[in-house]
Amino acid sequence: VCGGGLRLVEQGSRNKDYPRSLMQENFINYLHCPICGGNSFRTVVNQRNATEIREGYVYCNTCQNNFIISKGILDFLVNPSLEVKKQQEGTTKHEMAPWGLPFNPQDSAKYKKQILSLPDGDNSDIFKKETSFRSIAESAHAFYQGLSLLELSGKEKLLDLGADICWSTNKFAEIGCQCVALDINYHLPVSDVYIYENNVYFERIRADMDYLPFIDRSFDVVVNMTSIHHATDLKRTFKEIA
């Protein structure tokens, strides 16, 4: 498909190894459509940079539906459940509440230093307020303990569920893991700080962890930091993870 400034990325073969960077083209081979369950896609690119596809959409060849890519994030959260909608509304409504982010996500560029310091924190004022950043810093020891127990080699394909701003995904990517961050909220764009300031790369997708849009055995490791309690059906969620 040509014209109008659009470019079609070739679908490619079903390669079982993610490339270390610019994963988008092969990433679609690990997806199944959240509408029809098919796994034949092609990607139309409106804008890309040296790192990733920034704007465009993924087209399902089976049901002919489009799924938007915006700010590098693929949106597979279609027809969200009432529970998911309530969680999204709650996150937006209480964005600056004590348990939320200490800044508006649109202002993340102003807080690069603090974002990059997670999970440890940098003792700046932002970590002294009762926000999610303070909570993350206070639990950093638990994260590193869990990371140690995983004994990752850096060759794993890893899915980070409920990744939020992707501070944990960033840590796994630093090790060398080929990572995908998944969440339902609108904090995922904050992770640009990690990708463009920390020289790491990971895919980001908006989707429901109760209905994971991946073909079986796509990942070696699935992690969840602080969001499994949001699952509406724990039995189903753990079945999906398994």
Q: What is the pLDDT of residue 23?
A: 44
Q: What is the mean pLDDT of the segment spanning 232-238?
A: 86
Distance of CA 191 to the CA centre of its chain: 8
Which pLDDT tens digit goes with each residue over 37-76? Answer: 999 999 999 999 989 999 999 999 999 999 999 999 999 9
- Asked whether residue 118 carries a pLDDT value surpassing 80, the answer given is yes
Distance of CA 78 to the CA centre of its chain: 16
Instruction: Output Rg (C-alpha) for the chain, integer angstroms.
Output: 18
Q: In what order do the strands lie in the sheet with 73-75?
A: 7-9, 41-48, 53-60, 66-70, 73-75, 203-206, 178-183, 157-161, 221-224
Q: What is the pLDDT of residue 116?
A: 98
- Asked whether residue 20 carries a pLDDT value surpassing 70, the answer given is no
CA distance 132 to 16: 36
Q: What is the pLDDT of residue 18?
A: 33
CA distance 106 to 25: 28
Which pLDDT tens digit goes with each residue over 76-103? Answer: 998 877 776 676 666 665 555 556 788 8
Half-sphere exposure of 139 (CA within 13 A, CB side): 13
Q: Which of 183, 235, 188, 190 is nearest to 212 (CA)?
A: 183
Q: What is the pLDDT of residue 93?
A: 59
Q: Which of 117, 107, 205, 219 is nearest to 158 (CA)?
A: 219
CA distance 231 to 233: 6
CA distance 97 to 74: 28
Enter the tokens of residue 24: 């988008």
